[in-house]
Structure 1
Amino acid sequence: MRPTDDASHQPTASGVPATPALEADLRLRRGSFTLEVSLTVQPGQILALLGPNGAGKSSALRALAGLVPLTGGHVRFDGRDQTTAPVERRPIGMVFQDYLLFPHMSALDNVAFGPRRQGLSRAAARERAAGLLDHMGLSAHARVRPRRLSGGQAQRVALARALAVRPRLLLLDEPMAALDASTRIDVRARLRHLLEEFDGATVLVTHDPLDAMVLADRVAVIEGGRVVQQGVPAEVARRPRTAYVARLVGLNLFRGRAEGTTVTLEETETETETGAGTGGPALVEVHQAHRGPALVAFPPRAVALYPCRPHGSPRNVWRLRVEGTERFGDQVRVHLAGRLSLAADISPAALAELGLSRGDAVWAGVKAAEVECYPG
C-alpha cells in the first residue's frame, strides 16, 4: 500500500518514525510575490500541487530543484540538508511540460545522458537506458529521435531520462500539458503505473484536477503563495475549503455559521422579492448537527429546479434568478444568483420544459441529505 498519511513521520513496522523522502520549508520572495510553503512527502508517495496561475506552484518546484535560491527555510532529501546544494548536486530528476528532449539524440542517448554526466561509462549508461526504455515499452523506439515520437512516447522517454539518474526526488511540471485529449487517458494511466514503482518522492504540478485525482496520493492546493488545503484527493474533492477548490472539483460551496442542523450563510447579495430573494442571509438545512463556523458543499446535480415553490422532500429552497446556461457533458449547467449564487445541472429536456432564459426567476431545491457540512 502506498503511504497517504498526512503525518510528517510515519511509523515503520518497528515503530520507529520513517524519515520523509522530502521535507521542505520554502520561503521565497520575488518582487511583490512571497512564497511560504511547507511540504512533506513520504518514500514512494506522489504529491500533487494544484492552484491557479500565479499561485506559486512552479516557483515551489523550481525552489525544490535549486533553480531559484530560497530567502529562508530548508530543503531535505532523506533527512539530508540540500538547501544550498547546486542543481547538479541534488538527487533529483525533472520532467518538463514540453519534455525538452535533445532533438539530435536518439531516445536511448537522451536517457543515457544523465548517467554519463554522473560518470558512468558509455556502455554502462546505455545499458541502464536500454533497461528503462524496455520497462516502459519503448525498446522498439530506442534509436528513434524525438521528432518521430508520439506525445505519449516522448513523455515516457522524458520520464525514463529523469529516472535514469536514480533520483530521490522526481519533479513533474505539467506532464500532460503537451498531450491531446484523445491520448491523455491512456498516458495518465500508464504514468500512474510507472510512478508506483518509484521509491523516492514525487512532486507533480498540474492545473488539471483529474491528473491530481488519478496520479497523486496527496494533494496540496496553493493560492497566493500559501497552502490553503491539503490531504488525500478524495477528501479534498469532497470537502473543498476555498472557492477555487470548489470550482476545480465542481461543487457549490458556501461559508456560514452552524447552529444544530441549520447553517446561516454569509451574505453575498440581499435582493428583495422584486429581484430574486427576500433579503438577508440564506439558510441551509443539513442532515447532521454542527455548531460554529462551517462550510457547506453540494454538487450541481443535487440541485432541482422548479417553476413554483416546491412542497415535499427538498428541505432547502431558494428563489433565484437565471444568470446563464451552458452545455456540460450530456447535461445543461444553469448558473443562478440571488441570495446565493450556485450552479445546477439539469437535462436538456428539463431546460426545455422549464423554458428558462437569462433573467427568469426559478426555485432551486436541494435535499438536506445531499449537503456536506464540515468545520469552516
Structure 2
Amino acid sequence: GLVPLTDGHLRLDGTELDRTPPESRPVGVVFQDYLLFPHLTALDNVAFGPRCHGASKSEARAQAAVWLDRMGLTAHASAKPRRLSGGQAQRVALARALATHPRLLLLDEPLAALDARTRLDVRAQLRRHLADFEAVAVLVTHDPLDAMVLADHLVVVEEGQVVQQGTPADIARHPRTDYIAHLVGLNLYRGQADGHTVHVESGSTVTTTEQLTGPVFVAFPPSAVTLHRDRPTGSSARNLWRCEVAGLETHGDQIRVALGGELPLAADLTTVAAAELDLHTGAMVWATVKAAQTHAYPA
C-alpha cells in the first residue's frame, strides 16, 4: 500500500493483496527509522495494529502489553517515542508489526540506525523472535553479518541482478562473485581445473586437494596464508607465490595484508608476526598456502 501498483498483482497465500484493504492485509513492516506515532505511548503504538484489525481498545492494549513484555519493555509502556532509546524504539516497532500476527513480515534495514552495541543486542533479540515466527519474513540489509545471522535463505543482489542464493552456510563456503567472497572473508579465484591444479585467470596456479576438470572457483581464507621474507625451504605447503605488500589494515590484534603480484590475495597475521616480518607497503614477500586449506568447486 505504500507504492501504487502499475502492473501485475501481489498475492500472499493465494489472496490478491492489491484488492485487499490495507487494514485487512496480513503484512507487518518494520522500517529503518522506526516510524512510531510520536503522540502515542509505546503501549498504544503496539496496540494500533490490533485495533485496526478489529480488536476492542481493551483487547488491543492487552495484546500490546504481552508483546512489550516479550520485548523486555514493560517498564516503558507509558513512554512516548521521544523518551525511548534507538534500541527500545526499534523493539517497539517490531512488537507493533508482530502484534497483528502477520503472514508476511517485511524488515527494511531494521538495524541500520542503531549504534554498534545496541545493534548487537537487538540483532540477538530479533533472531529469537524470527526463530519463533511461523510465517515468512523478508529482510533487506546491506550488513553481511545481519544477513548471515538472521536469514535461513539468502538472495544476494549486485547491480540490480540476483547473483547467488542459498543457505548462509552454502554461500559462505561457495561464493560465486568477488563481492560475495569479500563479504564472507575469502580469497576467491576463477579458473580452469586440471586434476589438482587450477589455472586461474591471472596466469598463476593454485594446487587443491579436490580433483576436478573444467571451469571452477577456488577459495581460501586469509588466515590460511603464511608470509615469509625469504623463499621458504622445506615447507609442506603446495602453493607458493611471490607477492608485494600493497597495504596493511589493523583489526584489533590482527593485521589484514593486501598483496599484489602473480596472485593478488589477502592475508591475516597477528601484529607480532607482522612486526617480526617488518611488513610495509612495497615490501616483497613469499606467500604459502597448504592445498588442504583451499576449496575448489565447479563454476
Normalised by the shorter chain, which TM-score bucket?
Answer: over 0.9
| Offset of residue 88 of structure 1 | 4.8
1:165 paired with 2:100, answer yes
Q: Match of 1:344?
A: 267
C-alpha contact 2:210 2:295 (8 A) present in aligned 1: no
C-alpha contact 1:326 1:332 (8 A) present in aligned 2: yes
| Offset of residue 289 of structure 1 | 0.4
Matches of 1:304 and 1:115, distance apart in 2: 59
The correspondence for 1:216, drawn from 145, 151, 157, is: 151
The correspondence for 2:196, drawn from 238, 261, 265, is: 261
Secondary structure of the corresponding residue to residue 152 of structure 1? helix
Q: Match of 1:297?
A: 219
| Offset of residue 195 of structure 1 | 1.6
User: Cα 1:295–1:68, aligned 2, differ >3 Å: closer, same or farther?
Assistant: farther
Matches of 1:135 and 1:256, distance apart in 2: 51
| Offset of residue 230 of structure 1 | 1.0
User: Cα 1:317–1:75, aligned 2, differ >3 Å: closer, same or farther?
Assistant: farther
Matches of 1:70 and 1:205, distance apart in 2: 22
Q: Match of 2:291?
A: 368
Secondary structure of the corresponding residue to residue 123 of structure 1? helix
**Amino acid paired to 2:227:** L
**Amino acid paired to 1:332:** I
Q: Output the TM-score relative to the length of structure 1.
A: 0.75
C-alpha contact 1:256 1:265 (8 A) present in aligned 2: yes
**Amino acid paired to 1:118:** H
Residues 227-236 or 115-124, more deviating: 115-124
Spell out, residue by residue over 1:203-243, the C-alpha distance to the aligned partner (whole angstroms, 9 max, x if none): 11111111112211111111122221111111111211111
1:69 paired with 2:5, answer yes
Count of equivalent residues: 298
Q: Match of 1:132?
A: 67
Spell out, residue by residue over 1:312-360, the C-alpha distance to the aligned partner (whole angstroms, 9 max, x if none): 2111111111111110231111101122211101111221222122122
C-alpha contact 2:24 2:53 (8 A) present in aligned 1: no
The correspondence for 2:171, drawn from 229, 233, 236, is: 236
User: Cα 1:365–1:87, aligned 2, differ >3 Å: closer, same or farther?
Assistant: farther
Matches of 1:95 and 1:215, distance apart in 2: 15
Spell out, residue by residue over 1:23-50, the C-alpha distance to the aligned partner (whole angstroms, 9 max, x if none): xxxxxxxxxxxxxxxxxxxxxxxxxxxx
Matches of 2:2 and 2:214, distance apart in 1: 43
C-alpha contact 2:155 2:164 (8 A) present in aligned 1: yes
User: Cα 1:91–1:354, aligned 2, differ >3 Å: closer, same or farther?
Assistant: same
| Offset of residue 121 of structure 1 | 2.3
Instruction: Give 1:138-287 correspondences, 5 Å limit.
Output: 138-267=73-202, 281-287=203-209
| Offset of residue 105 of structure 1 | 0.8
| Offset of residue 193 of structure 1 | 0.9
User: Cα 1:83–1:342, aligned 2, differ >3 Å: closer, same or farther?
Assistant: farther
C-alpha contact 2:23 2:52 (8 A) present in aligned 1: no
User: Cα 1:86–1:316, aligned 2, differ >3 Å: closer, same or farther?
Assistant: farther
Matches of 2:77 and 2:271, distance apart in 1: 50
Q: Match of 2:255?
A: 332
Q: Match of 1:108?
A: 43
Could you list the runs of 5+ residues in structure 1 that have no partner in the other structure? Answer: 1-64, 268-280
**Amino acid paired to 2:105:** L
1:316 paired with 2:234, answer no
User: Cα 1:308–1:327, aligned 2, differ >3 Å: closer, same or farther?
Assistant: same
**Amino acid paired to 1:349:** V
**Amino acid paired to 1:82:** L
Matches of 1:94 and 1:176, distance apart in 2: 13
| Offset of residue 87 of structure 1 | 5.0
Secondary structure of the corresponding residue to residue 65 of structure 2? helix
C-alpha contact 1:66 1:86 (8 A) present in aligned 2: no
| Offset of residue 255 of structure 1 | 0.7
Matches of 1:355 and 1:343, distance apart in 2: 17
Residues 149-158 or 243-252, more deviating: 149-158
Q: Match of 1:121?
A: 56
| Offset of residue 369 of structure 1 | 0.5
C-alpha contact 2:44 2:61 (8 A) present in aligned 1: yes
Residues 130-139 or 338-347, more deviating: 130-139
C-alpha contact 1:252 1:300 (8 A) present in aligned 2: yes
